[in-house]
Structure 1
């Protein structure tokens, strides 16, 4: 169980660092969060794998929600938003003013 946890931490950290390196479709805040948490996850995995001498440790599987959410956020933001044509803009404006009456 310990080896699985360390492996998942390392994979999560590497994925988040890779997402932070990509500039496409992400805000600066999102890239910063990916970079910071990716470094923390990878650093903690390295600590547990190479420097941890044993004893008690806590396993937080909830920690793996953040990488999943960041990957989902990355791909959701990469989807191009459709731009409205002039006719569609005029129709929406007409609907708004018609409903206001």
Structure 2
């Protein structure tokens, strides 16, 4: 079970670092958060795999919710936004000029 946990932590870290490397469709803040958490996950996996000498450890499966949320957020932000029709553009311009937005 320990090896699976370490492997999943490392995989999560690599995935988050890969998401941080992609520039298209993400803000700088999102990419920074992906990079920071990716490095933390990968570093913790390295620590557990090579430096940890303890007898007991805790497994937090909740830690794997964050990578899933980040991947979902990445693909959600990559979906193209619908283009406005001429009527919708005119309506928005009217709203702005009337001071309603």
TM-score normalized with structure 2 length = 0.86
**Structure 1 residue 91, shift from structure 2 partner:** 6.0
Backbone CA RMSD of aligned residues = 1.6
Aligned to 1:22: 22
Output the CA distance in 1 between the equivalents of 2:29 and 2:14: 18
Matched, 1:82 2:82: yes
- Which residue matches 1:57? 57
Structure 2: stretches of 5+ with no match in the other structure: 95-101
| Matched length | 94
In 2, Cα distance between the equivalents of 1:92 and 1:16? 38
Deviates more, 1:47-56 or 1:66-75: 47-56
Is 1:40 paired with 2:40? yes
What is the CA–CA distance in structure 2 between the aligned matches of 1:93 and 1:16, rounded to whole Å? Answer: 40
Partner SS state of residue 54, structure 2: coil
What is residue 98 of structure 1 aligned with on the other side? none
**Cα distance, 1:66 vs. partner?**
0.3
Normalized against structure 1, the TM-score is what?
A: 0.86
